[in-house]
């Protein structure tokens, strides 16, 4: 008896370590992969910040993790690499499910991590300036309301930003938000002609734009983030921000007043390059009614002068979309790199995906976006009944095959010469 005691004493700490507890392991995974949304005042319906919450929501957590519904991280591993990746690794998924199977032991509260800072609605802390729609807007009760609101910045010098966060005023009706920059007062003129707050802007803000005319956007599920080191967004002096709101009203009367937080770049950020949004887009397609798997592509060749780097990828389709991929092909070696792949497109969970490393655009590379659509009745999200041919458009029943690329060009002079949109 005496002889084996020391052996048991040696094994005991090993056995204790092997048991996964909430306090030690699970709390840390929830903190990193769930709490960005599951916390007070954020998009998710409950906070997942305690052992009690984990127990209370235990059945649901196991179901959504098993079915890979949560966390809603869409890009497939191995196709590009992105910052703020909140997807669970296979090991984490297995560990959480095993922990529940083993009776969900709490462990020693002394092992709990420091709670994450409470940031409330501003995900990057308090902005330097908050701008908002001039007044509360009563959203008309019809489908697809596109309305632009003009907000003067009043800045008397050019301003570098390293982040912009949009906070939708009413998440039940805000479908998406895009911010445009107007330096010529054109949008204010359109606003003045319209008696209601803002002006109708189906299809675009109705002002001439270059590729530096977009400042950012918001789509459901999106997180705010900073621009990469040395890269900034530029807001010209005296500019107004045009907030394009796409509302998709639910049954009852809703009002909205969306706001924007601007984060100024600091001297220490040493901004030397300017990020602009280049659309990689096919806007001339017709998806036949009933077709379950219709492919649409678009390509851009990197002609001399267009070399640069991609820092952000924003894939976009509507309700018929099922798969979207952006690739870069080297024209000499024909080597293909998949920059992003989402194969279970969900309109409710879109992202502005920031690349971990900048993706180089070499001369004569070719960029391609490839979209696949299901326009059959098998697609439960198909909004058209009876089925119809669907083409490009801004309405929810129309489609898009589009990826905005957040790009810096090696030669920034090129920015002024590329047209963004001719649409009126
Ligand atoms: C990017 C934001 C986000 C992240 C990250 C996230 N959730 Fe959620 N979660 C939501 C939202 C929003 C809902 C509400 C339902 C919906 O809109 O899909 C939700 C709903 C849920 C539900 C209830 C679902 C149901 O069907 O009743 C559970 C359980 C859940 N999340 C667990 C988790 C867990 C566990 C993690 C981390 C491993 C996580 N979520 C990460 C946003 C998020």
Across the chain, which has 424 residues, the per-10-residue mean pLDDT values are: 46 60 97 88 85 98 96 94 92 97 97 84 92 94 88 94 94 87 95 94 82 85 85 94 88 90 92 92 97 97 94 94 97 94 90 93 97 97 95 88 95 71 39
Q: Which of 238, 273, 308 is the last residue of a domain?
A: 273
> Does an H or E element contain 58, and which?
helix 58-66
Residue 400 lies in a domain: yes
What local confidence, expressed as pLDDT, does residue 119 receive? 66
What local confidence, expressed as pLDDT, does residue 9 receive? 47
What local confidence, expressed as pLDDT, does residue 419 receive? 57
Q: Cβ distance 165 to 127 under 8 Å?
A: yes
| Residue 231 belongs to domain with CATH number | 2.60.120.310
**Closest CA to ligand 1's atom 31:** 70
Tell me the pTM. 0.86
Residue 37 lies in a domain: yes
Distance between Cα 144 and ligand 1 center (Å): 26
Ligand 1 atom with the shortest distance to the CA of 88 = 38
Taking the CA atoms of residue 176, residue 178, residue 179 and residue 185 in that order, the dihedral angle to the nearest 10 degrees is -110
Same domain, 85 and 226: no
Same domain, 55 and 173: no
Q: Which pair of structure tokens corresponds to residue 32? A: 């990193």
Q: Cβ distance 48 to 54 under 8 Å?
A: yes
Same domain, 83 and 182: no
Distance between Cα 212 and ligand 1 center (Å): 35
| Ligand 1 binding pocket mutation candidate from 64, 86, 174 (most atoms within 8 A of CB) | 64
Same domain, 304 and 160: no
* Strand, helix or coil for residue 396: coil
Q: Cβ distance 155 to 181 under 8 Å?
A: no
Query: Where does residue 263 rank: exposed (0-12), middle (13-18), buried (19+ CB within 10 A)?
Result: buried
**Domain total in the chain:** 3
Same domain, 130 and 60: no
Phi, psi of 315 (to 5 degrees): -70, 145
Q: Of the candidates 222, 136, 135, which has an alpha carbon nearest to the alpha carbon of residue 178?
A: 222
Overall residue count recorded for the chain in this entry = 424
Ligand 1 atom with the shortest distance to the CA of 65 = 35
Same domain, 262 and 280: no
Same domain, 195 and 295: no
Q: List the domain range (segments joined by +) for residue 223.
A: 123-273
State the number of CA atoms in the 13 A half-sphere of 413 facing the CB. Answer: 3
d(CA 406, CA 82): 13
Same domain, 79 and 206: no
Residue 406 lies in a domain: yes
| Ligand 1 binding pocket mutation candidate from 25, 44, 55, 57 (most atoms within 8 A of CB) | 44
What local confidence, expressed as pLDDT, does residue 262 receive? 97
Helix residue ranges per DSSP H, 323-387: none
Ligand 1 neighbours by CB, cut-off 6 Å: 33-34, 36-38, 43-45, 48, 57, 60-61, 64-65, 70-72, 86, 88, 221
| Residue 400 belongs to domain with CATH number | 2.60.120.230
Q: Which of 111, 142, 170 is the last residue of a domain?
A: 111
Distance between Cα 303 and ligand 1 center (Å): 43
Same domain, 263 and 288: no
d(CA 269, CA 144): 40
Q: Cβ distance 226 to 162 under 8 Å?
A: yes
What local confidence, expressed as pLDDT, does residue 6 receive? 46
Residue 265 lies in a domain: yes
């Amino acid at each position: 008896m005496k002889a084996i005691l020391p052996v048991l004493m040696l094994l005991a700490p090993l056995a204790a370590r092997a048991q996964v507890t909430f306090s030690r392991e699970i709390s840390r995974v929830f903190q990193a992969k769930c709490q960005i949304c599951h916390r007070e005042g954020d998009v998710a319906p409950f906070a997942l910040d305690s052992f009690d919450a984990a127990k209370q929501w235990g059945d649901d957590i196991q179901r959504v993790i098993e079915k890979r519904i949560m966390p809603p991280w869409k890009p497939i591993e191995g196709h590009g690499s992105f910052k703020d990746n909140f997807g669970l690794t296979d090991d984490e998924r297995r560990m959480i499910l095993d922990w529940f199977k083993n009776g969900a032991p709490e462990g020693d509260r002394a092992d709990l991590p420091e709670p994450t800072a409470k940031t409330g609605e501003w995900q990057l802390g308090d902005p330097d300036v908050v701008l908002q729609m001039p007044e509360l807007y009563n959203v008309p009760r019809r489908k697809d309301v596109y309305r632009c609101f003009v907000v003067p910045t009043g800045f008397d010098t050019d301003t570098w930003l390293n982040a912009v966060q949009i906070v939708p005023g009413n998440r039940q009706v805000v479908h998406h938000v895009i911010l445009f920059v107007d330096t010529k007062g054109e949008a204010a003129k359109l606003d003045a002609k319209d008696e209601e707050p803002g002006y109708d802007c189906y299809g675009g803000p109705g002002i001439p734009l270059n590729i530096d005319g977009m400042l950012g956007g918001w789509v459901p599920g999106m997180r705010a983030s900073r621009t990469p080191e040395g890269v900034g967004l530029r807001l010209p002096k005296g500019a107004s921000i045009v907030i394009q709101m796409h509302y998709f009203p639910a049954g009852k009367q809703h009002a909205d007043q969306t706001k924007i937080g601007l984060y100024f770049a600091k001297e220490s950020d040493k901004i030397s390059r300017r990020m602009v949004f280049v659309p990689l887009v096919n806007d001339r397609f017709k998806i036949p009614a009933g077709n379950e798997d219709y492919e649409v592509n678009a390509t851009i060749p990197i002609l001399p002068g267009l070399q640069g780097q991609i820092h952000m990828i924003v894939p976009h389709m509507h309700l018929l979309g099922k798969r979207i991929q952006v690739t870069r092909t080297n024209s000499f070696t024909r080597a293909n790199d998949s920059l992003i792949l989402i194969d279970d497109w969900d309109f409710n969970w879109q992202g502005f995906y920031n690349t971990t490393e900048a993706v180089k655009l070499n001369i004569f590379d070719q960029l391609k976006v490839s979209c696949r659509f299901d326009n059959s009745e098998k697609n439960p999200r198909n909004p058209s009944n009876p089925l119809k041919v669907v083409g490009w458009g801004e309405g929810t029943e129309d489609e898009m095959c589009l990826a905005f690329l957040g790009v810096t060009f090696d030669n920034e002079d090129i920015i002024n010469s590329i047209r963004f949109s001719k649409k009126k």
